[in-house]
Structure 1
Amino acid sequence: MSLEGPLCHADLVVVPSQTPLGKVVPRHASVAVGEALADTRVVLVNGARQCGKSTLVRLLAKDRAAEWRNLDTPVVRQAALTDPAGFVAFPELMVIDEIQRVPDLLLAIKEQVDTYPAPGRYLLTGSARVLGLRALPDLLPGRMETIELWPFSQGEIDGTADGFVDALFTEGERLRHTSAVTRNEYAERVVRGGFPEAVARSNPRRRERFLDSYVSDLIARDVSQLAEIERVPQMRALVRLLAARSGQLLVANAMSTAVGLSATTIHRYLALLDEVFLTKRIPAWSRNISSRAISTPKVAFVDSGVAANLLGADSRSLVRPDGQFGPLLEGFVLMELARQLTWSEQRAELFHYRTKDQVEVDAVLENRQGQVIGIEVKASSTVRSDDFRGLRHLADRLGDDFIVGVVLYTGTQTLPFGDRMRAMPVSALWEGR
């Protein structure tokens, strides 16, 4: 199986490609957006730039009498700044693309939906965490639902259900999966990532050009618009350093000397990178089961292709003995889990776990009932009993609340390693159900 060409084949988000007709990929988030429009006045689709937000909302709105406003267009943005109330005055559905460009519009929208409280009035997109903007004049409590859209998941690319999270919570250790995906093919998926433009480019060099431009434009445009960046070269150095530490603990003070920035500035820049969806922090998990649990978050890149490109890694170099396959594969898995949690039936949250004694679990999923799943990620095609050390630590302390511990590895079979412990192929993430 080769992953160099576009693997897109269904009916929702248009993906540019080398072919005259292009390809389309169905997005799992489309169901949630459609349901929200039926009963919520304002719906916000928020996510990274170029992950398919505009295309998704355009297709959802095409059969409605919708008014489209793109705030990336200078004249449209100027009209919004000059007359916010007049700009949003429309009796039917209005689609406003890149709402973070003019956050003052949210106050005018609030007035509109309070006066005419029908559902499906406004469908917004944003490329920054809009509700975290310091200049936001007002929120829309009880009036707006936010749905995060990520770059393509592996299941969206392959046309599978992406049901791993739900299957683990419902089936636990009964879940089985056999895989034909090789270690090299996993490496290809990691370096390709999930941005539609990157998935569509069959030439690896052209994909690298896109990813280079993506990061450069994000720093020069979106990050700079959110805050004054006094030292852009150091920001770029910080981004590269974060790529090298993907899946590791986020110790901001330790990065200060490496990039020549104060700890205060490091903290501010890290927050900005989260706001524009370049990185995601995975919080530490604790239920007071161990007083030695640490509270430091992990950092992962929203897209593994961006992280690999920043490190200059291709699929061949990644699997060499001195490659970065392990950390990048862990970040890849963490973000596949994060994607699934936006549409899974189980309302669960993603954490990591580590103690001062170096006992750790790469990913911890906890649902609203307090049930827990532990996941370890190994880049090798074999698994040892010692790889379950952290998972057994959790199982011993949680008792019946611990459903299953899974070591995801690059082998082909599901294998038992004791009570509620299983080794499973990484591809179970998007093929297991």
Structure 2
Amino acid sequence: MRAAAQNDPQAFVNQIPDGMLVIDEIQRAPELLLPIKASIDRHRTAGRFLLTGSADLLRLERTPDSLAGRAVTLPLRTLSQGEINGRLDDFVTRFVAGVDPFDVRSTVSREDYANLLAAGGYPEVFRRSPRLRAAWFDGYIDRIVQRDARDVRRLVDGNRLATVLRLVAANQAGEVVRARLSRDADVPETTMTAYLDLVETLYLVERIRPWTGNLTTRQAGKAKGLVTDSALAMHLSGVTPARAAALVGGGELLGPLLEGLVVSELRKQQTWSDTRFSVFHYRETSGVEVDVLLELDDGRVLGLEVKAKQTYKPEHFRGLQRLAERLGDRFLGGIVLGTADQGVRFGEKLVGLPIASLWEL
């Protein structure tokens, strides 16, 4: 089919003039984009083409056209916890509508969080046994770095690409410092930049930008990076559910993974939420930071701290309190998400909630 498309792209694109032509893995034949563009311009009927693929067309080296004004891009992420549990998950809309934290209860335990992190959201494996899941991820990673990556960028070292993935997973939800990654992977910094772009193009890693808003010049920080699926992140970093859930030393492993889960769930909910919002992180040069910052279309801001703790402590809210002072009326609320089984009010516009509130509210 690809050979036919490349031999006569015009005929291939126009073979179903009155229906929908679905082209999967379009990144393997980007030369079809210009004929598709011409066909759309000749016949402006919505829904004539459905283009799917495992790489971001806008970031490909060989993309001849972006189809700007002619296409809508829909990111297809792994299953959300709401989808897995048969719930409508729209956390931001529900919270904005008003939530009494003392009414919030959850039966999800610390061990449950570790297990759902390890299950992830890939439809093929989230209900499989740990052994089969590990085998699937081994094959998945190998095929991507050794084959799929070359569809996007011909000159790529698969072993180095796998190393970059493991380094990002080991620092899940941490700031992306190219110089450090370059040193740890033993590759030039310019090469590291290209590899980071590649894993984003393949939808394996995403970066969360620092929020600068309209406050002052004191905000600082680099983008945070995270492997998009929690199970893939755990597999790459060699963390088991038992190690993550352990009360002694487990918090250091569980905390970043939970922060990655929160960001990932919110990114999924963005695509169907009744409330439009953007996802950032916040950090000042003084060291004050907030794990996740959500900015609504009307300019109001919701801050979230993610903790692996089963209790809420005053120090967990300090970054949120600082954010509230700086934002004034724009501050919608601050939430500490933890592994506790119930919610609590911790001051004006400050609450603690179970992480599972993201999909259980």
Using structure 1 for the length normalisation, give the TM-score: 0.80
Pick from 213, 222, 225: which aligns with 2:139? Answer: 213
Counterpart of 2:275 in structure 1 is: 346
Counterpart of 1:243 in structure 2 is: 169
- Corresponding letter in the other structure for 1:180: T
Q: In 1, Cα distance between the equivalents of 2:28 and 2:276?
A: 31
Q: 1:358 to 1:329 in 2, by over 3 A?
A: same
Counterpart of 2:338 in structure 1 is: 409
Counterpart of 2:12 in structure 1 is: 87
Equivalenced residue count is 356
Counterpart of 2:284 in structure 1 is: 355
Return the offset for 1:291.
2.1
The yes-or-no answer on 1:273 pairing with 2:202 is: no
Q: Is the 8 A contact 1:168 1:404 kept in 2?
A: no
- Corresponding letter in the other structure for 1:304: S
Return the offset for 1:228.
3.5
Q: In 2, Cα distance between the equivalents of 1:412 and 1:149?
A: 31
Counterpart of 1:136 in structure 2 is: 63
Structure 2 counterpart SS, 1:362: strand
Q: Is the 8 A contact 2:172 2:256 kept in 1?
A: yes
Q: Is the 8 A contact 1:352 1:362 kept in 2?
A: yes
Return the offset for 1:229.
4.2
Pick from 70, 88, 92: which aligns with 1:161? Answer: 88
Counterpart of 2:158 in structure 1 is: 232
Matches within 5 A, 1:23-42: none
- Corresponding letter in the other structure for 1:182: S
Counterpart of 1:150 in structure 2 is: 77
- Corresponding letter in the other structure for 2:284: T
Pick from 103, 112, 115: which aligns with 2:42? Answer: 115
Structure 2 counterpart SS, 1:281: strand
Pick from 247, 264, 267: which aligns with 2:190? Answer: 264
Offset from partner CA, 1:235-278 (integer Å, 9 cap, x none): 22221111110010001111111110011111110010001010
Q: Which runs of 5+ in 2 are unaligned?
A: none
RMSD, aligned CA = 1.5
Q: In 2, Cα distance between the equivalents of 1:111 and 1:228?
A: 28
Counterpart of 1:77 in structure 2 is: 2
Q: 1:78 to 1:200 in 2, by over 3 A?
A: farther
Q: Which runs of 5+ in 1 are unaligned?
A: 1-75
Q: 1:131 to 1:175 in 2, by over 3 A?
A: farther
Structure 2 counterpart SS, 1:351: strand
Return the offset for 1:425.
0.3
Offset from partner CA, 1:111-139 (integer Å, 9 cap, x none): 11111111111111121111222311122
Using structure 2 for the length normalisation, give the TM-score: 0.95
Identity score, percent: 40
- Corresponding letter in the other structure for 2:25: E
Q: 1:173 to 1:400 in 2, by over 3 A?
A: farther
Return the offset for 1:110.
1.1
The yes-or-no answer on 1:287 pairing with 2:213 is: yes
Structure 1 counterpart SS, 2:325: helix
Structure 2 counterpart SS, 1:408: strand
Structure 2 counterpart SS, 1:126: coil
Q: In 1, Cα distance between the equivalents of 2:202 and 2:159?
A: 18
Q: In 2, Cα distance between the equivalents of 1:331 and 1:147?
A: 21
- Corresponding letter in the other structure for 1:358: G
Counterpart of 1:96 in structure 2 is: 23
Return the offset for 1:225.
2.0
